[in-house]
Structure 1
């Protein structure tokens, strides 16, 4: 097998690996964004609980029930979005692992082939 074949394969596997990395980045950013939104919601819930004890009108007007309903729906929606993003992330990470494995395999084959060419050339030169 010619050396340039492995060179071309190395370029293709590197390009595939980089493509898969680029596909993973937006998913990681989206996951972080949703986790921040959940953390912000949790902070709002804690603040609401702290403030509701000192505000009687909050309960009398039924605002506490509306708030609780909104908070529950928001949390559910964020958790669903987070689950969807994580499922996509798992698929993207698997594709990235495959691309990395292929890249490493081709690099090892190329290195072995280069070494074999060097040894063959060394034997050929030493026989003269």
Structure 2
């Protein structure tokens, strides 16, 4: 394979890898946002649970049950959204792994080509030196 082809392949595989890598950034940000929202919800639930345990008027009117129902719905919705993001992230990460592997394979082929070419050039130079030395 010619070096120009390897250089072109290297550029293409690098571009594909970077394009796939860019796709995961918004998913990572969304995952972080959702995990943060779940953590805040859990902190809020702990805090409210302690407050409602001692607030008899709120228990009497059923506010504690309404709170629990809202908490369950909110946690469920956040977990559904997080699951969807993680599923998308899994698909994109697999594409990144494939693109990374292709990029590395092409880079290894290019490196090998350059090394083989350098060895061949040195061998030719050495043979010329031997030829010149034997002629002289």
The answer, yes or no, to whether TM exceeds 0.5 is: yes
Distance 1:113 1:70 in 2: 64
The alignment covers a number of residue pairs equal to 128
Secondary structure of the structure 2 residue equivalent to 1:23: helix
1:11 corresponds in structure 2 to 11
Per-residue deviation at 1:126?
A: 2.5
Distance 2:57 2:42 in 1: 23
1:55-94 equivalent positions in 2, closer than 5 A: 55-94=55-94
Alignment RMSD (CA, Å): 1.0
Distance 1:53 1:73 in 2: 21
Distance 1:57 1:11 in 2: 69
Is 1:23 the counterpart of 2:23 in the alignment?
yes
Is 1:110 the counterpart of 2:110 in the alignment?
yes
Distance 2:40 2:50 in 1: 15
Is 1:37 the counterpart of 2:37 in the alignment?
yes
1:50 corresponds in structure 2 to 50
Question: 1:72-120: per-residue Cα shift (whole Å, max 9, x none)?
Answer: 0111111111111101111111000001100110010000011111122
Structure 1, unmatched stretches of 5+, are none
Superposed structure 1 runs of 4+ greater than 4 Å apart: none
Secondary structure of the structure 2 residue equivalent to 1:68: helix
TM-score, with structure 2 as normaliser: 0.90
TM-score, with structure 1 as normaliser: 0.95
